[in-house]
Structure 1
Amino acid sequence: MSFKIAIIGAGSVGFTKKLFTDILCVPEFKDIEFALTDVSEHNLQMIKAILDRIVEANGLPTRVTATTERRKALEGARYVISCVRVGGLEAYADDIRIPLKYGIDQCVGDTICAGGILYGQRNIPVILDFCKDIREVAETNAKFLNYANPMAMNTWAAIEYGKVDTVGLCHGVQHGAEQIAEVLGAKSRQELDYVCSGINHQTWFIDLRLNGRKIGKNELVAAFEAHPVYSQQEKLRIDVLKRFGVYSTESNGHLSEYLPWYRKRPDEITRWIDMSDWIHGETGGYLRHSTETRNWFETEYPQFLEAASKPIDPDKRSNEHASHILEALETNRVYRGHFNVRNDGVITNLPQDAIIESPGFVDRFGINMAAGITLPEACAATCIASINVQRMSVHAAISGDIDLLKLAVLHDPLVGAVSTPEEVWQMVDEMVVAQAAWLPQYAHAVPAARERLSTSGVKTREWAGAARRSVRSIEELRAEKAALKQAS
């Protein structure tokens, strides 16, 4: 087979390498072309060198090109994969820093909440530019695979306004299933069957079978509470499991941001989170992790390049959906996964226009969703609260309506539990002014927002958050890795 895959945001070096090697684990895909594109020439050349080394080491005919001209990369592409982070770590830092001034403590801030909503405002205009290029220069009916957050908002915009065949992809379901298999004592992940459904980062394991035996709430609660690690790291998820009756896919820290109950007061935050790793609820945890990862990669690049000389091992193919979807579409080897698509009746008690994440099967005929799923009422209620925020956020990003943007932030569950309307209005003004370089649709609103900020009397505070850690130096990271290696 010979076709072209374009990867936008290919400067996400580690993730691009994973997608690349996954796809080349499919025997029929050796002769394809990868076209890499990114706004960073520096990152682009680093990842191209790594992928070229993989191709050379494995004696493959695979072609790899790299260009900062996105439209050129998309020409003739059958598949387009996006893993962009618009505004980079500079804008992302404001997604965490500014809401903290108003008492809003986020762990990740990339889905909803104040940070996730502004992230969507930056991403959506760029997503629509991608879609325009895909319609005009990519292969007819090219498929757009979106890995970028905020997943639901980006996918919603691409489908409703970009008019491109789009699927959103995430790995939260796989990670949650791995945890459940472990606590239940499964010898392999293949022993666990499940139906997981909801919206991205709020997906629920509504049916669990271990070797065909149905697993109920009480058994699952007992298994998690008995686990020496997860019982401490996933306290919030376990509490939600007890109250809702089903386990959520998302990590302790991530899930805490979508609910109005656990991060509303500093003392409550420290009660529910775990500081053994950023993902369990640390204030700004993912920002710290991303900063350290970037610094580590820049410093240790020669080692990453050397590691690229190893043969590709198909047994180490990851459970990221992209390679399996492409394999199913091109070879008709059926793949079952969980995909982000427009609802249209798939989940009976969520809005039809929502972007849902639910099981589907892929073959030559495309992605075929399993329809007629009904969520438990509490799960549906929680999802609907987020969907309403996502809908307003998408429409605000399209229209550049700052008042609608403020209403979207006001209706966010955690923001509403922490902040007053006056605080929300000022916070959004401050975020739009700070991120104006990445928000062209709000250019007309920035002068008035800046004027309001100069006269506003809403008080803020300089606060690092309830559980903040400093970014570790390269030397500290090296020492930590050495200690872990010695302990193992």
Structure 2
Amino acid sequence: MSFKIAIIGAGSVGFTKKLFTDILCVPEFQDIEFALTDISEHNLGMIKAILDRIVESNRLPTKVTATTNRREALEGARYIISCVRVGGLEAYADDIRIPLKYGIDQCVGDTICAGGILYGQRNIPVILDFCKDIREVAATGAKFLNYANPMAMNTWAAIEYGKVDTVGLCHGVQHGAAQIAEVLGAKSPRELDYVCSGINHQTWFIELKLNGRQIGKDELVAAFEAHPVYSKQEKLRIDVLKRFGVYSTESNGHLSEYLPWYRKRPDEITRWIDMSDWIHGETGGYLRYSTETRNWFETEYPQFLEAASKPIDPSKRSNEHASHILEALETNRVYRGHFNVRNNGVITNLPQDAIIESPGFVDRFGINMAAGITLPEACAATCMASINVQRMSVHAAISGDIDLLKLAVLHDPLVGAVSTPEEVWQMVDEMVVAEAAWLPQYAHAVPAAKERLSKAHVKTREWAGAARRNVRSIEELRAEKAALKQAG
């Protein structure tokens, strides 16, 4: 087979390499073209060198091109994969720093909450630019695979306003299923059969079977509480499991910021999180991790390039959806996964226009969702709170309506649990002004926001958060890696 895949944001070097090697694990795909594009010529050069080394070492006919000209990369592409971070770590730091001044302590801040909503405002205009290019220069019927967060908002905008065939992809379901299989003593995650449904980062394992045997709430709670690691790392998720009766796909840290109950007071935050890794609830944890990862990659690049000389091992193909979707569409080998699409009746008790994450099957006819799923009422209620925020956020990003943006932030569950309306109004002004370079739709609103800030009377504080760790130096990372290797 010969077709073209464009990867936007290919400068996300590690993730691009994973997608590339996964796709080349499909025997029929070795003669395809990968067109890489990114705004960073430096990062493009690094990833192209790595992928060229993989192609050369494996003696493949695969073609790899790289350009900062996005339309050139998209021209004739049958599939377009996006893994962009609009604003980079600079804007992301403001997503975490500014809400902290108003008492809002986020672990990740890339889905909803104050940081995730502003992240969506930066992303959506760019996503619509991608869609315009796809409509104009990509292959007829091209499919857009969005990996970029905020997943639901980006996918919502691409489908409703970009008018492009779009699916959002995430790996939270796979990770959650692997945890459940482990605590239940399964020899392989494949022994676990499940139905998992909801919205991205709030997806729920509403049906579980291990080797055909139904698994109930009490058995699952007991299994998690008996696990020597998860019982400490997933305290919040286990508490939600006890109260809701079903397990959430999302990590302890992620889940904590979508709900109004666990991060509203500093003493409560430390009670429910675990500091062994950022993903379990650390303040600004993903920002720290991303900063360290970038610094590590820049320093250790020669080692990454050397590792690219190893043969591709199909047995190590990851469970990221992209390669499996492409394989199913092109070869008709059926793939079952969990996909972010417009609801359209798939989940009976969520709105039609919402972007849901739910089971589906892929073959040459496309992505076919399993319809008629009804969520437990508590799960639907928490999803609804996020959906309402997402809808307002998307509409604000499209219209550039700063008042609607403030209302979206005000209705966020965690923001509402922590902040007053006055605080929210001032915080959003501050974030829009700080991130104005990436918010063209709010350019008209920035002067007035600056004027209001000059007369601001709401008190703020400089606060690192309830559970902050400093960014580690390369030397510290090397020492920790060496210690882990020795211990292992």
Report TM bin, short chain: over 0.9
| 1:101 CA displacement | 0.1
| 1:207 CA displacement | 0.3
Unaligned runs of 5+ in 1: none
| 1:321 CA displacement | 0.1
Deviations 1:172-215 (A, max 9, x none): 00000000000000001110010000000000000000000010
Determine the C-alpha separation between the residues in 2 that align with 1:54 and 1:128: 33
Determine the C-alpha separation between the residues in 1 that align with 2:173 and 2:204: 9
Determine the C-alpha separation between the residues in 1 that align with 2:441 and 2:263: 31
SS at match of 2:257: helix
| 1:280 CA displacement | 0.1
Deviations 1:324-349 (A, max 9, x none): 00000000000000000000000000
Determine the C-alpha separation between the residues in 2 that align with 1:206 and 1:142: 33
| 1:298 CA displacement | 0.1
Determine the C-alpha separation between the residues in 2 that align with 1:487 and 1:455: 56
Determine the C-alpha separation between the residues in 1 that align with 2:121 and 2:463: 25
Determine the C-alpha separation between the residues in 1 that align with 2:215 and 2:12: 38
Determine the C-alpha separation between the residues in 2 that align with 1:346 and 1:388: 18
Question: Could you tell me the percent identity over the aligned residues?
Answer: 94
Determine the C-alpha separation between the residues in 2 that align with 1:189 and 1:115: 34
| 1:285 CA displacement | 0.1
Which stretches of structure 1, 4 residues or more, deviate above 6 A after TM superposition?
none
| 1:310 CA displacement | 0.2
Deviations 1:258-303 (A, max 9, x none): 0000000000000000000000000000000000000000000000
| 1:371 CA displacement | 0.1
| 1:359 CA displacement | 0.0
2:416: which partner in 1?
A: 416
Determine the C-alpha separation between the residues in 1 that align with 2:308 and 2:482: 22
Deviations 1:410-469 (A, max 9, x none): 000000000000000000000000000000000000000000000010000000000000
| 1:26 CA displacement | 0.2
Deviations 1:204-230 (A, max 9, x none): 000000000010000000000000000
| 1:111 CA displacement | 0.1
| 1:163 CA displacement | 0.1
| 1:238 CA displacement | 0.0
Equivalences for 1:169-248 in 2 at 5 Å?
169-248=169-248
Deviations 1:375-416 (A, max 9, x none): 000000000000000000000000000000000000000000
2:340: which partner in 1?
A: 340
Deviations 1:12-43 (A, max 9, x none): 00000000000000000000000000000000
1:373: which partner in 2?
A: 373
Determine the C-alpha separation between the residues in 1 that align with 2:297 and 2:181: 32
Determine the C-alpha separation between the residues in 2 that align with 1:191 and 1:406: 46
Deviations 1:145-181 (A, max 9, x none): 0000000000000000000000000000000000000
Determine the C-alpha separation between the residues in 1 that align with 2:242 and 2:389: 26
| Alignment size in residue pairs | 488
Equivalences for 1:3-402 in 2 at 5 Å?
3-402=3-402
Determine the C-alpha separation between the residues in 1 that align with 2:52 and 2:137: 26
The RMSD of aligned alpha carbons is 0.2
TM-score scaled by structure 1?
1.00
SS at match of 2:463: coil
Determine the C-alpha separation between the residues in 1 that align with 2:486 and 2:242: 38
SS at match of 1:414: helix
SS at match of 1:463: coil
Determine the C-alpha separation between the residues in 2 that align with 1:157 and 1:380: 22
Determine the C-alpha separation between the residues in 1 that align with 2:456 and 2:468: 28
Determine the C-alpha separation between the residues in 1 that align with 2:268 and 2:353: 35
Determine the C-alpha separation between the residues in 1 that align with 2:164 and 2:249: 28
Determine the C-alpha separation between the residues in 2 that align with 1:145 and 1:137: 17
1:452: which partner in 2?
A: 452
Equivalences for 1:471-482 in 2 at 5 Å?
471-482=471-482
SS at match of 1:47: helix
Determine the C-alpha separation between the residues in 2 that align with 1:399 and 1:458: 27
| 1:58 CA displacement | 0.2
Determine the C-alpha separation between the residues in 2 that align with 1:231 and 1:383: 25
Determine the C-alpha separation between the residues in 1 that align with 2:104 and 2:274: 18
Determine the C-alpha separation between the residues in 1 that align with 2:386 and 2:187: 36
SS at match of 1:258: coil
Determine the C-alpha separation between the residues in 1 that align with 2:381 and 2:204: 12
Determine the C-alpha separation between the residues in 1 that align with 2:307 and 2:197: 37
Determine the C-alpha separation between the residues in 2 that align with 1:401 and 1:30: 47
| 1:242 CA displacement | 0.1
Deviations 1:83-116 (A, max 9, x none): 0000000000000000000000000000000000
Determine the C-alpha separation between the residues in 2 that align with 1:21 and 1:195: 29
SS at match of 1:429: helix
SS at match of 2:182: helix
1:436: which partner in 2?
A: 436
SS at match of 1:362: strand
SS at match of 2:394: helix
SS at match of 1:139: coil
| 1:81 CA displacement | 0.1
Deviations 1:128-149 (A, max 9, x none): 0000000000000100000000
SS at match of 1:180: helix
